[in-house]
Structure formats: structure tokens, C-alpha cells
């Protein structure tokens, strides 16, 4: 009789999983490590959530600035502790709402922001010295931050007192998301300008949130997510150092953004390993002296890719488990996706349930009572070490290629993600990976929920307002600011941020600023395809 083949188990990243783990499987268990001390495996702060729970920052923004303002105030009234602003596709790609290429996309995936008028409306009656704001924007991040600074000034709030984040991670756009505008090296110049400017004039702002989230959503595994994110971080840090900035001057204001998927223990281990890896990079590679420079501060969003259009209420369970792993992993802020996001922008009711999910975890589960509650688990410690080892191997390989920019230009990142995404899709197609309600436990009587819809009149009104805004301004002043911006963009050693701020004060629009940079820097076209 033939011996029955023993099924082999592995994590989503391909790490082998044994039937049971013991001390023999763990070489560097963190018994002697303290939370709040290098290399921070057990957490950034000694007390973690015992002292203060994570920031609950629900991702919002859709339609008009008026609607987004209403949604912000709704969430703040229901206990949200930080704002997170999503922008529509035209805004992300440097086009005003009245641009012919914007037609049909205005206000669809986020709020339409073309002018200082739009930004003023978006934050009407929201005191910017009392809230922190995260803006998911990349190519046009410099303009959106400039608009935010000018809005704050109109409220009498100094830029010194502004708290928040601009995502501003352009490298992952070339890898996974594609809302780039300018070529990589020119984009890196603008990001360097922002980091340098913020270190002096907006000291409480995080000018960049280096993102693994979108690479994970595109199909990478947990090890690739960390490795590619840290490779990009190294590129950004090198850019700043090459400008003469000292690491300890800017590193404390670098932040990160990760995804959290359904493989609970691997995700917890991923966050623990991430802190350890980053601390070592900053201390050993860049010679950081300040403890704050070695801190990995990160925001987590639950996985949009894990949400299903079938049986949408199941998504509440998925989001809950993903949020729990983010908390057990020690995140600093968290967004929980809404149950209906696989179908549409979420309704107010769905958003409220998503926020309540965080509040229940924080207040009812008891997981915040002790720091790093899963530490000492042989399985978890094994996963933490295996992820660290896998990330280090990738980083060495990327270094051999020539760093992150070279890896992007040769398509290395993109090919690695494509392969993993293909493997995941095969596993679902062949039922090797079960997705409840999709390839197993289907419900033929599944009822589609009531969905949020975007009124097409929003685009019409937005375009009309923008045209009126442009007619009412001092065109001579606008032209002067555009000429100055063009002149300074041609000077590689000129920081562009003060000039962008000056331009938006003169009512120059986001699209006009972007067009200047396109004229000087060009528009990026990838040199490879798959």
C-alpha cells in the first residue's frame, strides 16, 4: 500500500508551517527585549496602548468638497480621532476638474480638489490646529500640502502647528499603482524639496508615508511588501542625505503605510519584523543617533483586495480580523475598510460600522491591556525571524541591481509582484485557497446592499464653480506666478515649495502647477511591459 502523501502547509509568503512549534524552532526569542527599546520588536513605546490607543483614521473623501466636509464632521462626531483624505483621479494625476481628460472621473474615487476654494470648503469649520490630517496623494502632494498650509493660515494656524501626513511615495506608483506624472528622478527632486521644507517650516508634519499597501494589494506577499517598501525608503533617505541633510534632522518625520490581510499570525509577525528591520537599517546603515530616527511609525489599512462583492456582510468579519492583527502588531494608526467597498464608495452606515469595529477592539477585547501579547509564541517568533530573513535577502538583491530606482526602471519589482499575484489567482481558481462566498459556501440568494452613488450633477457643479473661480482671479498675477514657477523649476538646486505656496495664494490651480512641471520635467512613459 502506497504511503499517503502528507499535506504541506505554508503561509501566504511561502514560509513552511510545521504541525507544532517548540523552543528548538526559535533561535532569538524576544524574552529579553523591552517594548520601547531598540530594535523595537515588541513595540515602539514602553506602554503602547495602555497609555494611548492608536489613531482611528477612516479614509474619506468623495464627490464635492461640500460632501467631503460633511463626511468628515460625521466621522468626528462619532469618535474618529484623525482625518484621512482621498482625492479623485484627476486630482491625483495633476488635472483640473474642467480638463477634458477629467470628464467622467470628477469626484468618483475621492474628492475633487482643483483650487484653494475647493480646499477651503473641504475643511470649513474644522480647526486644523485641533486635528491631524492624512492625505493620500502622491504626484501632486506638494500642491495639496501647499493648499492645506494656506487654508491653515486663513484660520490663523501657523504651519508649525499642523499635524498630519502626505503619502507622497512616488516610487510605489511606478511599481504598483501608476498615478505618476513626472519621471522618477524629477519626482524624487520634488519629494526631497518637501522633506527639506517640512523639516524647517512644518516640523510636526510627516512629508512622506512610504507605502507597502498598494504593492500588497497589487499581489505581493508579506515579505515582498516589507522588502520593497524598505528599498524605497533607502532611496528616499539617500536622496535627503545627498542634499546635505543629516539623518537625525529628517528621519523622525518619515512614516510608513502597510496593508493587513487575512493571514493573521503572519501579519502580526510582519509588523514586529518590520520594526526590527527598519531600526537596524537606520542605526547600522545610516548611523542614526536619535532613537526617534530608528522608530518605524506606521499606519495600517485593512485589505481592500480581501473584500468580496458576494455576501458583503462577511466583509465585516474579515475587516475585524485584519484590524485585530494590526493592533496585535502594534500599529500607530488604523483604517478599517467598509463592508460595501468592493461594490462602491461606502455609505455612512457602513463607514460607522467600520469605525465601531476599531472602537470595539480598543474598548471591549482586552488586547490593549498588555504590550505585545503574542510575544513568546514559538510560532509567532519563528514567523518574525523568517520574515526578517526573507526581507534581508531581497534587500541584498535589490542593492546588487543598483537600488530601488534601478529596480523600478528594469521592472524587477513589477515582475516579482506579477508572479506572486498570478500564483494567488491560480490557488483561488483551483480551490487551493478558499474564499468564503466566492469559491465555496456560495449563496444563490445573496442580496446586493443599498449602495452609495455619486450624483453626476456633482461634476457639472464642480466644473462650473471652477470656471467661475478662474474668471474671477487676477490673471496677470496668475501668469506672473506661473512664469516664476517655471523659472525656478529649471533650477535643480531651488526648493519649489515656497513658490508653489505663493502660486496657490495667487489662485493658481493644481492643474496649472502640474502643467508647468510637465513642460519642464516631461511626462513619464514606462520603458517595459509585461
Percent of the chain having pLDDT more than 70?
A: 98
Q: What is the pLDDT of residues 155-170, one digit of tens each?
A: 999 999 999 999 999 9
Q: What is the pLDDT of residue 3?
A: 59
Residues composing the chain: 530
Whether this prediction's pTM lies above 0.85 is answered by yes
Q: What is the pLDDT of residues 66-117, one digit of tens each?
A: 999 999 999 999 988 889 999 999 999 999 999 999 999 999 989 999 999 9
Q: What is the pLDDT of residue 7?
A: 82
Please say whether the beta carbons of 253 and 199 come within 8 A. Answer: yes
In a 3-state reduction of DSSP, which class is residue 59?
strand
Q: What is the pLDDT of residue 377?
A: 94
Query: Domain spans of the chain?
Result: 39-429, 465-521
Please say whether the beta carbons of 303 and 321 come within 8 A. Answer: no
Q: Which residues of 236-266 are buried (b: 16+ CB within 10 A; e: fewer)?
A: bbbbbeeeebbbbbbbbbbbbbbbbbbbbbb
Backbone angle region of 222, left / alpha / beta, with phi > 0 → left and psi within -120 to 50 → alpha? alpha
Mean pLDDT, residues 22-49 = 90
The overall average pLDDT reported for the chain is 94
Q: What is the pLDDT of residue 133?
A: 95
**Closest to 298 (Cα-Cα) out of 269, 330, 264:** 330
Q: What is the pLDDT of residue 338?
A: 95
Residue 83: strand pairing partners: 133
Q: What is the pLDDT of residue 454?
A: 78
Q: What is the pLDDT of residues 378-399, one digit of tens each?
A: 999 999 999 999 999 999 999 9
Q: What is the pLDDT of residue 529?
A: 53
Worst-scoring range by mean pLDDT, 91-100, 343-352, 514-523? 343-352
CA–CA dist 29, 27 (Å, integer): 6
Q: Which CATH number fits domain 39-429: 3.40.50.180, 3.20.20.240, 1.10.10.10, 3.40.50.300?
A: 3.20.20.240
Mean pLDDT, residues 27-32 = 70
Q: Give the 3-state DSSP-derived string for 125-164, with helices as H, strands as E and coil as C.
A: CCCCCCCEEEEECCCCHHHHHHHHHHHHHHCCCCHHHCEE
Helix (H) or strand (E) holding 426: helix 412-429
Q: What is the pLDDT of residue 82?
A: 85
Q: Between residues 57 and 278, which one has the greater pLDDT?
A: 278
E runs forming strands in 191-337:
205-206, 208-211, 254-260, 298-302, 333-335
Residue 483 has pLDDT above 90, yes or no: yes
Amino acid at each position: 500500500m502506497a504511503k499517503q502523501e502528507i499535506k504541506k502547509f505554508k503561509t501566504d509568503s511561502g514560509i513552511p508551517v510545521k504541525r507544532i512549534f517548540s523552543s528548538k524552532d526559535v533561535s532569538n526569542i524576544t524574552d529579553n527585549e523591552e517594548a520601547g527599546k531598540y530594535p523595537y520588536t515588541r513595540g515602539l513605546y514602553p506602554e503602547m496602548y495602555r497609555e494611548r490607543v492608536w489613531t482611528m483614521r477612516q479614509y474619506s473623501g468623495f464627490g464635492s468638497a461640500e460632501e467631503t466636509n460633511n463626511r468628515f464632521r460625521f466621522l468626528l462626531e462619532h469618535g474618529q480621532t484623525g482625518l484621512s483624505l482621498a482625492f479623485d483621479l484627476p486630482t491625483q494625476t495633476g488635472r483640473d476638474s474642467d480638463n477634458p481628460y477629467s470628464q467622467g472621473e470628477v469626484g468618483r474615487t475621492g474628492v475633487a480638489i482643483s483650487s484653494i476654494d475647493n480646499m477651503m470648503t473641504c475643511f470649513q469649520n474644522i480647526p486644523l490646529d485641533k486635528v491631524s490630517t492624512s492625505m493620500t496623494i502622491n504626484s501632486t502632494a506638494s500642491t495639496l500640502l501647499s493648499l492645506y498650509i494656506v487654508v491653515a493660515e486663513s484660520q490663523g494656524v501657523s504651519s508649525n502647528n499642523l499635524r498630519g501626513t502626505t503619502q507622497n511615495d512616488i516610487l510605489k506608483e511606478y511599481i504598483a499603482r501608476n498615478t505618476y506624472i513626472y519621471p522618477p528622478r524629477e519626482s524624487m527632486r520634488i519629494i526631497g524639496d518637501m522633506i527639506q521644507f517640512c523639516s524647517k517650516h512644518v516640523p510636526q508634519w510627516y512629508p512622506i508615508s512610504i507605502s507597502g499597501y498598494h504593492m500588497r494589494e497589487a499581489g505581493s506577499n508579506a515579505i515582498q511588501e516589507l522588502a520593497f517598501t524598505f528599498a524605497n525608503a533607502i532611496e528616499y533617505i539617500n536622496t535627503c542625505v545627498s542634499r546635505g541633510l543629516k539623518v537625525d534632522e529628517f528621519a523622525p518625520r518619515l512614516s510608513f503605510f502597510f496593508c493587513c490581510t487575512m493571514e493573521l499570525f503572519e501579519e502580526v509577525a510582519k509588523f514586529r519584523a518590520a520594526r526590527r528591520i527598519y531600526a537596524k537599517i537606520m542605526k547600522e546603515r545610516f548611523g542614526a543617533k536619535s532613537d526617534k530616527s530608528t522608530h518605524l511609525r506606521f499606519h495600517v489599512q485593512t485589505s481592500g483586495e480581501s473584500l468580496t462583492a458576494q455576501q458583503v456582510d462577511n466583509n465585516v468579519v474579515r475587516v475585524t480580523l485584519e484590524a485585530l492583527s494590526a493592533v496585535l502588531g502594534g500599529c500607530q494608526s488604523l483604517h478599517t475598510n467598509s463592508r460595501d467597498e468592493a461594490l462602491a464608495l461606502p455609505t455612512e452606515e457602513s463607514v460607522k460600522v467600520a469605525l465601531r469595529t476599531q472602537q470595539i477592539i480598543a474598548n471591549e477585547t482586552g488586547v490593549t491591556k498588555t504590550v505585545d501579547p503574542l510575544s513568546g509564541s514559538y510560532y509567532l517568533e519563528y514567523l518574525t525571524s523568517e520574515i526578517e530573513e526573507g526581507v534581508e535577502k531581497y534587500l541584498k538583491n535589490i542593492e546588487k541591481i543598483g537600488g530601488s530606482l534601478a529596480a523600478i526602471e528594469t521592472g524587477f519589482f513589477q515582475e516579482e509582484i506579477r508572479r506572486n499575484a498570478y500564483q494567488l489567482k491560480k490557488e483561488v481558481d483551483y480551490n487551493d485557497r478558499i474564499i468564503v462566498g466566492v469559491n465555496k459556501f456560495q449563496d444563490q440568494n445573496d442580496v446586493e446592499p443599498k449602495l452609495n452613488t455619486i450624483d453626476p450633477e456633482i461634476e457639472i457643479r464642480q466644473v462650473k464653480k471652477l470656471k467661475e473661480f478662474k474668471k474671477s482671479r487676477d490673471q496677470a498675477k496668475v501668469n506672473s506666478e506661473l512664469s516664476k514657477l517655471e523659472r525656478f523649476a529649471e533650477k535643480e538646486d531651488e526648493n519649489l515649495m515656497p513658490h508653489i505656496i505663493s502660486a496657490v495664494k495667487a489662485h493658481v490651480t493644481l492643474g496649472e502647477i502640474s502643467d508647468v512641471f510637465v513642460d519642464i520635467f516631461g511626462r513619464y512613459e514606462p520603458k517595459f511591459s509585461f
